[in-house]
Amino acid sequence: MLRSRKIALASVLLLPVVAGGFLLQGRRTSDLLLEQVMSLVTDKFVDTLPQNDVFEKAARGLVKELNDPYSELLTPKDVKQFDSRTEGRYGGLGMLIQPKAGGGVEVVTVYPNTPAERAGIREGDRIIKADTNSTLDWSTQQVSDALTGPPGTKVTATFARPGVPTPITATFVREIIKVPAIPYTLVLGNKIGYIPLVAFNNNAADNLDTTLKRLQRQGVRGVVLDVRGNPGGILDQSLSIANMFLRDGQEIASVKGRSGTMDDYKARGVAVAPTLPLIVLTDERTASASEIVAGALQDHDRALVLGQTSYGKGLVQAVYKLDGGYALKLTTAKWFTPSGRSIQRPRKFVNGQFVEETPDTNETDATKKARPAYKSDAGRVIYGGGGITPDVIVQDDTLTTPEQQFAKAVAPKIQDFFTVRDDYALELSKTVKPEFQVQPAWMDEFYNRIHAKGITNDRKAFDAANRYVGRLLGLRIAHFAFGDSVAKRRDLTYDAPLRKALDMLDKGTTQRDLFALAGEPLGTAAATKPKKP
Same domain, residue pair 300 and 376: yes
CATH number of the structural domain spanning residue 303 = 3.90.226.10
C-alpha span between 306 and 294 (Å, rounded): 10
In order along its 533 residues, the chain shows pLDDT tens digits of 444 433 333 333 333 333 222 333 344 555 688 888 888 888 888 888 887 788 888 888 898 888 887 788 988 888 877 776 655 556 889 988 888 766 788 888 788 788 998 888 988 889 999 999 999 888 888 898 899 888 999 999 999 987 788 999 999 999 988 778 999 999 999 999 999 999 898 889 999 999 999 999 999 999 999 999 898 888 999 999 999 999 999 999 999 998 887 899 999 999 999 999 999 999 998 999 999 999 999 999 999 999 999 999 998 888 899 998 999 999 899 999 999 999 998 876 665 555 555 445 567 777 788 899 999 999 999 999 999 999 999 998 888 999 999 999 998 888 789 889 988 998 999 999 999 999 999 999 999 999 999 999 999 999 999 999 999 999 999 988 998 899 999 999 999 999 999 999 999 999 999 999 999 888 644 433 444 44
174 and 151 in contact (C-beta within 8 Å)? yes
Same domain, residue pair 145 and 206: no
| CA 465 to chain CA mean position, Å | 30
Determine which one of 299, 377, 391, 422 is catalytic: 299
The radius of gyration of the chain from alpha carbons, rounded to an integer in Å, stands at 25
C-alpha span between 31 and 59 (Å, rounded): 14
Same domain, residue pair 371 and 455: no
Structural domain contains residue 523: no
Same domain, residue pair 340 and 306: yes
Per-residue buried b or exposed e for 7-41, using 16+ beta carbons within 10 Å of the residue's own CB: bbbbbbbbbbebeeeeeeeeeeeeeeeeeeeeeee
DSSP 8-state symbol, 194: E
Same domain, residue pair 371 and 427: no
C-alpha span between 512 and 302 (Å, rounded): 9
Tell me the pLDDT tens digit for each residue of 302-316. Answer: 999 999 999 999 988
15 and 9 in contact (C-beta within 8 Å)? yes
Q: Is 313 noted as a catalytic residue in this protein?
A: yes
By residue range, what is the domain housing residue 307?
A: 186-321+335-354+361-396+510-517
DSSP 8-state symbol, 8: B
Q: Which of 28, 40, 231 is nearest to 144 (CA)?
A: 231
Longest CA–CA separation in the chain, Å:
82
| CA 273 to chain CA mean position, Å | 25
Q: Is 240 noted as a catalytic residue in this protein?
A: no
**Residue that finishes a domain, picked among 123, 151, 173:** 173
Same domain, residue pair 315 and 448: no
Alpha helices in 123-225 (DSSP H): 140-147, 204-217
Same domain, residue pair 417 and 377: no
Question: CA of 425: how far to CAs of 118, 394, 414, 419, 473, in Å?
Answer: 19, 31, 16, 10, 6
Letter for the amino acid at 379?
G
C-alpha span between 286 and 311 (Å, rounded): 6
Determine which one of 238, 288, 290, 310 is catalytic: 288
CATH number of the structural domain spanning residue 138 = 2.30.42.10
6 and 16 in contact (C-beta within 8 Å)? yes
Determine which one of 313, 329, 413, 488 is catalytic: 313
Q: What is the pLDDT of residue 523?
A: 67
Tell me the pLDDT tens digit for each residue of 346-365. Answer: 876 665 555 555 445 567 77
CB atoms within 10 A of CB 288: 27
Structural domain contains residue 47: no
Structural domain contains residue 432: yes
CB atoms within 10 A of CB 383: 20
Same domain, residue pair 236 and 272: yes
Give how many domains the chain has, as a whole number: 3
Q: What is the pLDDT of residue 84?
A: 63
C-alpha span between 226 and 230 (Å, rounded): 9
Structural domain contains residue 44: no
Q: Are strands 304-307 and 315-321 parallel, antiparallel or unpaired?
A: unpaired
Per-residue buried b or exposed e for 147-182, using 16+ beta carbons within 10 Å of the residue's own CB: bbbeeeeebebbbbbbbeeeebebebebbebebebb
Q: What is the pLDDT of residue 13?
A: 32
DSSP 8-state symbol, 210: H
Letter for the amino acid at 218?
Q
Same domain, residue pair 455 and 344: no
Q: Helix or strand or coil: residue 4?
A: strand
Tell me the pLDDT tens digit for each residue of 11-45. Answer: 333 333 332 223 333 445 556 888 888 888 888 88
Strand partners, 393: 307
249 and 192 in contact (C-beta within 8 Å)? no
